[in-house]
Structure 1
């Protein structure tokens, strides 16, 4: 055998030996992360070094405390989904086990996972307002300095931070970003940790007349602004990777990024327009009529719209991909906020009617518009400019309520938590301008 042939034969033999050793090596868990789009209280995506036997993974893995769940996927990618209706009141222990498709056992590993969002709020303090974070233990932490006013708050959709608009005593505004690092999923040996908060970073170089903010689950931030010096409107997209792109948009109101990313909803005189991130040049889909976008559903590209009808009534509609809007509710009341579960299986709407002492009512509807529940929030009014948001991990809604003024005396608003099934109300004793959920990051 020639030296060249000997070397080739030796190399092939080593490759075969290495392959056999790898095949005998037990599978490993290469990655685990919370899914950015969940159809329920929480979802984990797991990636293994080998194609796994799903039945063995489901049988050998454990959740503590015990919670109803299911495993989906095939090959080396598996997905753990908490079942609808599960309420997460404390962090879960996730013990991952199972065998690969050749019967080799995975070395068990245990992770701590907390899918619960935190509350971020603009809190009224002495000499102004401050951005604060409420952790799961009920303690509040400052996330920046005290500004005279913080009229707009926008948590980033991937949980990596918060954007806000501050205003000085002369009404001049600036846009800021506060980055933070959450640790809501970690090996049990490492443990979870409170978020680490970075100092605010300015995103506007000169004073603004106004600014609107929107974010998606990728962590992109859209900033619509009008600069004080020129008075001209300007729109910028601050991507999660740190790059910034100027967009040529003609909008008649605030532009909202689609949660799943890659698109935005632009209000125009003719109606609502859905277009890609390149703007009108990339094409658009138009929904004509007098409609406002109220809120997005978590999955499936669905959204809730408020239609203003010629007879001065309003309608709450759900729009689904490839279908015309479907009416869920019609009435003479003003629709001031809404929230949506999963693909629209449950919907909540906040209505107001009357003058002087307006009546605030919370409705719960199913996907056909059937009324599941109703609660009058007697003695309360919604803080102007705030909305309604769902925490699916604890099946609760968040809104900002102000006690109805008596004798012209102005009162302080507070965060309010509402059980999404019973509609029972629980108030948090904190004077705020607005409160929002910050998703786990």
Structure 2
């Protein structure tokens, strides 16, 4: 009996050793490829291999076409490709991934097509209502939602896998919906690249709402602040990218915003802004006193651009760097209508509004991280629509805004060159607001 048991154990151990040797001799494989939205360059991809790789061999044997400046980072089986270019990316990129693992076993090269350019989203006026639409690469508009009477908030998920919407009917009762999307910006063949695929529409909150505020981070988490028609009906809920939902016990004096990298949020109080973690671990809350509002996140660096309102009705633009006091970049009497920054927080754009001779004029200003003015341009005869965003795209090096003319009610999507501040294109499509959707 003992001899038979010993033979069985020996056979099992031998089988495991043989399988282990077979696996060790197998060439490495690329098993996952996905966009990375927190990066300091123009665009980035995260790659996961079946085996720890030699970074130098991946760097020397892989190819990117067009041949744009790029870097390979990481270790073991988790690597990152960061594209660093000062020129706009206007077409899909072809990436050939190759290299050797730590045992010098060569992997079979793989060829991928990658389109890192964001998609243009607009809330468009359709049949006496509003509809969320996406523009494809050929300029065709594709509907992403039903037609509703009103959009009070449209927030693309930071990972590109959906768009959250706060909508209302003619009675102004709000609802919160999510249009899930499956990105198709990575493919083995060029003709397989396509706009994101629509999944079934989801209603996220079923109560009748008086208001709803939405915020998302680059991980794809979604924060929902809602209030109903009864006292004490305010709720704050976090829906993680994996679908798990958590009710948050947070007190706020206004809309909260998730930090781009995840794990925390900015909470307005009656005395300023608080930076606090999503989960209370007993750490003290970081507070910034004063009448400030969030302007923009500079995701790759963790920097934040704030707009401060002073008692004498002046405004200032501030850059907040972790561990330092806010750095004032600009101070003046003009209204600050919108701000944006690049990922590193080294370039900041602002749209300023002033009234002269009963006429409103808007100016776009480009500054560096020290507040030195690098460019300025009047937007006349156009003006930025109030309550909309100024957004920078590091891939195409363009600024996106929603513009109007003083004598017209219609608004249009507009693109500016981020360096020269010159108009590139104003699309002749009547909209409510234009936004970027990450690919």
Partner residue in 1 for 2:412: 414
Partner residue in 2 for 1:433: 432
Post-superposition offset of 1:325: 0.9
1:248–1:103 CA distance, 2 compared to 1 (3 A): closer
Post-superposition offset of 1:93: 1.0
TM-score by length of 1: 0.92
Instruction: Give the conservation status (yes or no) of the 8 Å contact 1:225–1:233.
Output: yes
Partner residue in 1 for 2:145: 144
Q: Distance in 2 between the 1:258 and 1:388 partners?
A: 18
Instruction: Give the conservation status (yes or no) of the 8 Å contact 1:209–1:231.
Output: no
Structure 1 residue matching 2:177: 3-state secondary structure: strand
Write out per-residue CA displacement over residues 35-84 of structure 1, whole angstroms, 9 at most, x where no aligned residue: 13121211111122222222221221111222111111222222111014
Post-superposition offset of 1:121: 1.1
Q: Distance in 1 between the 2:81 and 2:333 partners?
A: 44
Equivalences, count: 436
The answer to whether the aligner puts 1:180 opposite 2:178 as a matched pair is no
Partner residue in 2 for 1:383: 385
Structure 1 residue matching 2:337: 3-state secondary structure: strand
Partner residue in 2 for 1:366: 368
Structure 2 residue matching 1:423: 3-state secondary structure: coil
Post-superposition offset of 1:396: 0.7
Post-superposition offset of 1:158: 1.4
Q: Distance in 2 between the 1:215 and 1:241 partners?
A: 13
Q: Distance in 1 between the 2:16 and 2:207 partners?
A: 63
Q: Distance in 2 between the 1:50 and 1:232 partners?
A: 51
CA RMSD of aligned residues (A): 2.3
1:173–1:18 CA distance, 2 compared to 1 (3 A): closer
1:245–1:99 CA distance, 2 compared to 1 (3 A): closer
Q: Distance in 2 between the 1:10 and 1:195 partners?
A: 51
Write out per-residue CA displacement over residues 228-261 of structure 1, whole angstroms, 9 at most, x where no aligned residue: 2447433222332333333233322211111111
**Unaligned 5+ residue runs, structure 2?**
none
Partner residue in 1 for 2:421: 423
**Unaligned 5+ residue runs, structure 1?**
none
1:327–1:98 CA distance, 2 compared to 1 (3 A): same
Q: Distance in 2 between the 1:78 and 1:158 partners?
A: 19
Partner residue in 1 for 2:90: 89
Q: Distance in 1 between the 2:224 and 2:155 partners?
A: 11
Q: Distance in 1 between the 2:203 and 2:8 partners?
A: 62
> Any runs of at least 4 consecutive aligned residues in structure 1 with deviations exceeding 6 A, and if so which?
279-282
* 178-187 or 427-436, larger mean C-alpha shift: 178-187
